[in-house]
Amino acid sequence: MESDGAGRRVLVLNPVSGSEDHVDDIVELAADHGFEIRKTEAVGDAHRLAREATSDADLVAAAGGDGTINEVVNGIAAADALDTTTLAVVPAGTGNNFAANVGVESIEHSFAVIEDGQRRTIDLGVANDRWFANSCVGGVTAEASCETTSEGKREFGVLAYVKNTLETVREFESLPLRVTTVEGPDGEATESWEGKAMFVLVGNCRRFTGARAAQANVEDGLFEVTIVEDAGTVDLLGEAALEGLFGRDSTHIVRRRAPSLTVESLRDSVQYSLDGEMLSTETLRLETNAKALGVLVGDSYRSNPDDDDRWPFNGQR
């Protein structure tokens, strides 16, 4: 039921995300919870439908995977309605990374969160002129992300992520890049890294560590940046080699925290994946927009995951 005093509720539904068997359940639950339902029919519809919805709805739910959420966030931003809109997520994609990171476990659970969840104001990222909620990844990961298996998409650690990606790619050329991170509020210095990278992983809501815990601090105005350097002739698919590469003593991983950064290709255009949506460019400028959007979150969401998790920056690893 629509709660007292609430404005209109619109649910943008991608009927072809994930295993495509979610439509009936979501339509029924959404109607029970007072939502008007707008189904997408093609790529780009979720953006348009969300943009249109903001003119008279203050709660917009995105039902689909990370790509659908990305379009909905961009639609809300295009309507200049980030300040006045609350986003809810109904996980109906393959990996549902963003939903997991904000503590939303299933379709049924998402409607419980819509009624009783907490509203947190989270950071969003902007990459050139496109918004993203979860992560921006460049390099082989981006090119391979559409081939990644659903099981692989649920693996969160950088080790599993990189291994899974490399298994889907036979030949890979590393990227000559310059990554310049800008100084942050907690003493982070402006730093420039230049070299050959296999991956550049920029997490807003998502972190890429050796651990499986996936949620980054999404209220701190900072990205968590992980550069995986080209490891040369190592057999990358060997488990032991990967442990050596990406383990705690690794010299092949560069980590930074920064409110903004620039990734410049020293060769051709690079493919980036923004929450799974592709962008190709030579120069990518990334900025956090601190506390940009209200999102309904479940109980397992942590405003500061470092309080109960270990992260390389807090000196515990």
Binding string, residues 219-258; x marks residues near ligand ATP by CB under 6 A = ----------------------------------------
Would the CA dihedral through 298, 304, 308, 309 be positive or negative? positive
Burial of 36 (0-12, 13-18, 19+ CB in 10 A): middle
The Cβ of residue 301 has, within 10 Å, a number of other Cβ atoms equal to: 22
Residue (143 or 229) nearer to ligand ATP, CB: 143
Shortest distance (Å) from residue 178 CB to ligand ATP? 29
Q: Which one of residues 4, 42, 129, 315 is an interface residue with ligand ATP (CB under 6 A)?
A: 42
Contact (CB, 8 A) for 224 and 255: yes
Count of residues in contact with ligand ATP, rule CB under 6 A: 24
Instruction: Pick the stretch among 88-96, 130-138, 183-191, 291-299 that binds ligand ATP (CB under 6 A).
Output: 88-96
* Residues from 276 through 295 that contact ligand ATP (CB under 6 A): 276-277
Contacts for 267-270 with beta carbons within 8 Å, 24 or more apart?
Answer: 267/175, 267/176, 270/138, 270/139, 270/142, 270/175, 270/177
Taking the mean position of all CA atoms in its chain, how far away is CA 27?
A: 25
Identify the H or E element spanning 73: helix 66-78
**For the packed helices 66-78 and 45-53, what is the interaxial angle rounded to 10 degrees?**
50
Residue (41 or 108) nearer to ligand ATP, CB: 41
Instruction: Pick the stretch among 8-16, 127-135, 161-169, 176-184 that binds ligand ATP (CB under 6 A).
Output: 8-16
Binding string, residues 64-83; x marks residues near ligand ATP by CB under 6 A = xxxxx--x------------
Instruction: Pick the stretch among 53-61, 87-95, 196-204, 244-252 that binds ligand ATP (CB under 6 A).
Output: 87-95
95 binds ligand ATP (CB under 6 A): yes
Categorise residue 85: left if φ over 0, alpha if ψ from -120 to 50, beta otherwise.
beta
User: Of all residues in this chain, which one has the CB nearest to ligand ATP in the complex?
Assistant: 65
Q: Give the binding site for ligand ATP (CB under 6 A).
A: 14-18, 40-43, 45-46, 64-68, 71, 93-96, 153, 276-277
